[in-house]
Amino acid sequence: MIFNPSGGWRWHWRAWRWRPRWAGTLGQIEDWLMAQTEMPSDTLVLIGASAGWMMPPRWLARFETIHTWDIDPWAAPLFRHRHGQALRAQGRTLHTHTGDALVQLTALIAQQPQALFWFDNVLGQLCLFEPERHEALEQRLRTLHQTLAPVAWGSLHDRFSGPVDEQGLAIPPLRPVAPGSDAQSPEQQAWLHGIHAQSPWGDHLTGEVFPRGTPLVQIAWPFKPAHWHWLEMGWRPAQHAPPASLEARQDGPRPLRYSAHMNTQTCTRLHLATWLLASVLAGPVFASDTIALRHLPSRLQAIWDKTKPEMNEHSRCAAAFDGHSDPAKMVMRCSVYMRMGAEAERRALAHCEQERTSKGVHMPCKIVRE
């Protein structure tokens, strides 16, 4: 591993350094977790545990056995250092594991079908590992709950993050929200204005981690001076028994790749640069035009043909080009695995606009119609 953009020494240093800043957020997390009396309390599988900087000791002590997982080799010894003694004193058993828990998720579920699987501020960090594969990651996050259906599971994760004008700002109380709640809704915009959010904010691609109907709460996290996160937290009881065929297998997603030069703050900065807050302050950003497929350069038509088998009725592509001969002046971006055409359109346009700007293409991006 060259560099872990969501953990490692940087995370430990920050978490230690900003303990006083984070105290209010951690208090809200603790109060909510302690109030979830229906959660299973026999075994906890804690994924993205790190040193448990954000984990309330009182809540951990509810579980008879705890398995922590983290890819960061420093996490296990630091977790034991921070929590081991207190847990042992209360007769609890702690197992600390180093490895990619997502790759082994099916096997872990098979091994611990009665456990609570808790993703602790990790799902919103995955986009930092794969900055160029947002669509694939969103699809993975959207279907994760299917893998987890046999067990009780929950997650605390980033939804968005970005700059705030934090002078005189106190963290707002935790509030209930609907899964997938839209950052453009009046309630969310009011919440963002309440914490003096300044555009652009970054989207951590976790909007569809929880299935509809999951009770969720939203928490503000003053991560570092003038840079806050919108955290979301919820849990679901087990939905059905694990299928008999669920053997301990290692068939999860492919391991994460690590890069030495990633931005550790935001994932899809453009999303917010183009619509969050700007949509309130300046009205709709995209007045998208359309273009017929047959009018595209043959090179872009070929991309369309290649993408077509993966597309559903909600998928959209956006294209821009200056002439039909120079490939350097052509852009086409598709949003494929979507459940809403409007959202696919917004994303395709956003990605297209980003690439168009970087390539210096003059024609604006247009939604492609067959």
Ligand X SMILES: C[S@@+](CC[C@H](N)C(=O)[O-])C[C@H]1O[C@@H](n2cnc3c(N)ncnc32)[C@H](O)[C@@H]1O
Interacting residues with ligand X (CB under 6 A)? 4, 6-7, 11, 15, 47-55, 69-72, 75, 100-102, 120-122, 125, 256
Dihedral in degrees, nearest 10, Cα atoms 101, 105, 107, 110:
130
Nearer to ligand X, 140 or 316 (CB): 140
In whole angstroms, the minimum distance from the beta carbon of 290 to ligand X comes to 40
Closer residue to ligand X in complex, CB, 108/367: 108
Q: Which amino acid is at 365?
A: C
Q: To the nearest whole angstrom, how small is the minimum distance from the Cβ of residue 273 to ligand X?
A: 23
- Residue 13 or 325: the one with the smaller Cβ distance to ligand X is 13
Residue type, 329: K
H-type alpha helices, 288-340 = 298-307
Kindly tell me which of 57 and 173 has the beta carbon lying closer to ligand X: 57
- Can you read off the two tokens belonging to residue 107? 């096997």
Nearest distance, CB of residue 14 and ligand X, angstroms: 9
Comparing CB distances to ligand X, the nearer of 48 and 162 is 48
In the bound complex, what is the minimum distance in angstroms from residue 289's beta carbon to ligand X? Answer: 40
What single-letter DSSP state applies at residue 83? I
Separation of CA 10 from chain center: 19
* d(C-alpha 359, C-alpha 228), whole Å: 31
Q: Which C-beta is closer to ligand X: that of 54 or that of 300? A: 54
* Nearest approach, Cβ of residue 105 and ligand X (Å): 9
Task: Read off the DSSP letter of residue 53.
Answer: T
Tokens 């951690």 label which residue? 26
Tokens of 100: 């990619």
Q: Could you tell me the smallest distance in angstroms from the CB atom of residue 159 to ligand X?
A: 14
CB distance 272 to 201 below 8 Å = yes
Specify whether the CB–CB gap between 367 and 338 falls below 8 A.
no
Helix (H, G, I), strand (E, B) or coil at 276: coil
